[in-house]
Amino acid sequence: MNGRPLEDFLDWEFLTAEDAFMLRARLPSGEELECDIERPEGMPMGLTLEPPRIRRCANHCDFCFVDGNPTGLRANLYIRDDDYRLSFRYGNFATLTNLKPKDEARIVEYRLSPLYVSVHATDPVVRRWLLRNPEAPAIVPQLARFAEQGIRFHTQVVLISGINDGAQLERTLGDLHGLGDAVLSVSVVPVALTEFSKHHLVAEPTAAQCRAALEAVERWAARAMAERGQPWVYGADDLYLQAGAPLPAAAWYGEFEQRENGVGAVRYLQTRIAQSAGRYGDWAGKRIAVTTGTAMGRLMPQVLTDLAAETGARFEIIALENDLFGASVTTAGLLPGAAFQRALADRHDLDLALLPAEAVNDDLLFTDDLDAHVLAERVPMEIRFSYDFADALAGGQAVGASAGVEP
Ligand code: SF4
């Protein structure tokens, strides 16, 4: 592209952003093509790229949910991703421990901002221990270098009992606060382990530790409110649940920046459901599946209680693992179409399945290129895309011609 080789979708998008460019390509036959391309602004090229080859993670966290998978699953579920490109594009958290100088240069050149960064602890020794990576660079100087170039961050701290809570959490919040406007938000998320996790090495925070973490969050949030007019640091919904504390009101979360990370997700969805009250059709008695990624799966029950009361429907949560990008990718937006197909193909007992609208692009293609219309023909129930349930159940459109139910 204009004489530069294309490495991935980022090069493609940034280098084709101009309205005129030169594309040189070698076809599978070996034939070389050179195209002088001009296109009106905003007109798509009509070209689909293969899903990117995922950057592998250089860490070996004891709390990694990939290790927390049982044996015998599809091979891709054991991929550990740590990819700054997915961080920028999809809000997937990355540790930035596997960046090469070339990657750092790209982040600055393409202004990949904001990035979503797993900080966990700013003390370099504690962070290296948590990531099980003695090579991990110190995060504060690394973020500061990017900040000088105008890159901004949403950050998270995954809270581990006795390791990065207490005084370490205090230090982490202080250091991130010290980076000023470059850190747009911080979330504190209690670690979630499975029965297969390394429980002898890592433990979920107790209710008392969650309450202590919430106190630290609230103290720093009060300071940020006074200085910046917004809380800046947020406890994940799970932190409140485990601490036995009530969730803050919806207004606390501002733009719900870390909603996909389970921060304010419950309040966001409850708000959207309430806003549509009275506009739902008659879903009484219908059986509706809510498909989502594993990040949101645990928070859904409280939201669906509200929705069931509004609609009279019976809901079932289906939390899907991502077998295209790996189980460490937990956001609903990156789930491949094949995962939905596998989960729904034999579910003749369902009347409707709600799918996350973030999982398809404008052409209704999933990340694995499956067309939603094709999916609709392969599953026995009606499917609808939804950002917040309310949009789909209060007048949403069915995808494809699958026999289904209309309210
Ligand atoms: S938790 Fe994330 S950073 Fe840690 S090993 Fe797993 S994929 Fe890598």
Q: Which residues pair with 352 in a beta bridge?
A: 288, 382
**pLDDT of res. 328:** 63
Strand order of the β-sheet with 314-320 is 314-320, 287-293, 352-356, 382-386
Q: Which residues pair with 20 in a beta bridge?
A: 38
**pLDDT of res. 79:** 80
Q: Which ligand 1 atom lies nearest to the CA of residue 58?
A: 8
Ligand 1: centre distance to CA 364 (Å): 30
Cα 406 to Cα 130, 199, 277, 279, 352: the distances in Å are: 50, 47, 18, 14, 9
Ligand 1: centre distance to CA 186 (Å): 18
Check: CB of residue 358 under 8 Å from CB of residue 369. Answer: no
Ligand 1: centre distance to CA 301 (Å): 27
**pLDDT of res. 251:** 94
Does ligand 1 have an atom closer than 6 angstroms to the CB of 64?
A: yes
Atom 7 of ligand 1: nearest residue by CA position: 80
Does ligand 1 have an atom closer than 6 angstroms to the CB of 128?
A: no
Does ligand 1 have an atom closer than 6 angstroms to the CB of 66?
A: yes
Q: How many CA atoms lie within 13 A of 142 on its CB side?
A: 23
Does ligand 1 have an atom closer than 6 angstroms to the CB of 136?
A: no
Atom 3 of ligand 1: nearest residue by CA position: 59
Interval 252-296: pLDDT, tens: 999 998 988 889 989 998 898 888 888 888 899 999 999 988 777
Q: How far is CA 102 from the centre of its chain?
A: 25
Confidence (pTM): 0.82
Mutational test site, ligand 1, from 60, 67, 76, 80, max ligand atoms within 8 Å of CB: 80
**pLDDT of res. 407:** 40
Does ligand 1 have an atom closer than 6 angstroms to the CB of 96?
A: no
Q: How far is CA 33 from the centre of its chain?
A: 38
Cα dihedral sign for 336, 338, 339, 341? positive
Task: Choose among 370, 382, 250, 389: nearest CA to 317.
Answer: 389
Rounded distance between C-alpha atoms, residue 354 and residue 382, angstroms: 9
Element (H, E) at 87: helix 84-90
Does ligand 1 have an atom closer than 6 angstroms to the CB of 59?
A: yes
**pLDDT of res. 74:** 64
Q: Where are the alpha helices (DSSP H) in 157-230?
A: 166-178, 207-228
Does ligand 1 have an atom closer than 6 angstroms to the CB of 62?
A: no
Q: Which ligand 1 atom lies nearest to the CA of residue 67?
A: 6
Does ligand 1 have an atom closer than 6 angstroms to the CB of 57?
A: yes
Ligand 1: centre distance to CA 321 (Å): 15
Interval 296-336: pLDDT, tens: 777 788 888 888 988 999 999 999 988 777 776 677 888 88
pLDDT in tens, the chain (407 residues): 888 898 898 998 888 888 888 999 999 999 999 999 888 877 777 777 887 888 899 999 998 877 766 666 667 777 888 999 999 988 889 999 999 999 999 999 999 999 999 999 999 999 999 999 999 999 999 999 999 999 999 999 999 999 999 999 999 999 999 999 999 999 999 998 776 778 888 999 999 999 999 999 999 999 999 999 999 999 999 899 889 999 999 999 999 989 888 899 899 988 988 888 888 888 999 999 999 887 777 778 888 888 898 899 999 999 998 877 777 667 788 888 999 999 999 999 999 999 999 899 888 988 888 999 999 999 999 999 998 888 899 876 777 644 333 44
The residue count for the chain? 407
Cα–Cα–Cα angle for 372, 377, 381, rounded to 5 degrees: 95
**pLDDT of res. 330:** 72
Atom 4 of ligand 1: nearest residue by CA position: 61
Pairing of strands 32-38, 20-26: antiparallel
